[in-house]
Amino acid sequence: MATALQKARTVALYRDSLKTLLSWAVARDIFYVKTGHDQIERALARGEERLRSYAHPDPYIVPYRPGGSLYARNPPFPDGISMHMDFGREGGH
């Protein structure tokens, strides 16, 4: 797990890299004409495939989320059964 300092350094590095890029080309539209949508699609597909290759065969699921061991553990009561909320308070105190 990354520490707060590492996260802050990552954000600062990204921000500083964008500022450096702006120094190299003030007009961003020169980058837009150079984008190849096919190249972007291939890079995204490779990244998604690489992410799938690292997927765990039995992934961790938070217990209270769908698929977790605690999800829907207490089913609702059948229609013939009612819930009495003040159990033990019948004495009138």
Spatial distance between the Cα atoms of 32 and 34, rounded to a whole number of angstroms: 5
pLDDT (0 to 100) of residue 50: 93
Q: What tokens appear for 31 in the block?
A: 């980058």
Lowest mean pLDDT of 14-18, 43-47, 48-52, 80-84, name the range.
Answer: 80-84
Give the count of beta carbons closer than 10 Å to the beta carbon of residue 66: 8
Q: Are the beta carbons of 65 and 71 closer than 8 angstroms?
A: yes
pLDDT band at residue 90 under the 50/70/90 scheme? low
Lowest mean pLDDT of 2-6, 11-15, 34-38, name the range.
Answer: 34-38
Q: Cβ contacts of residue 22 below 8 Å, gap of 6+?
A: 28
pLDDT (0 to 100) of residue 49: 94
Mean pLDDT computed over 78-91: 73
Write down the mean pLDDT value for the chain.
Answer: 81
For a pLDDT cut of 70, what percent of the chain falls above it?
A: 87
Q: Are the beta carbons of 61 and 67 closer than 8 angstroms?
A: yes
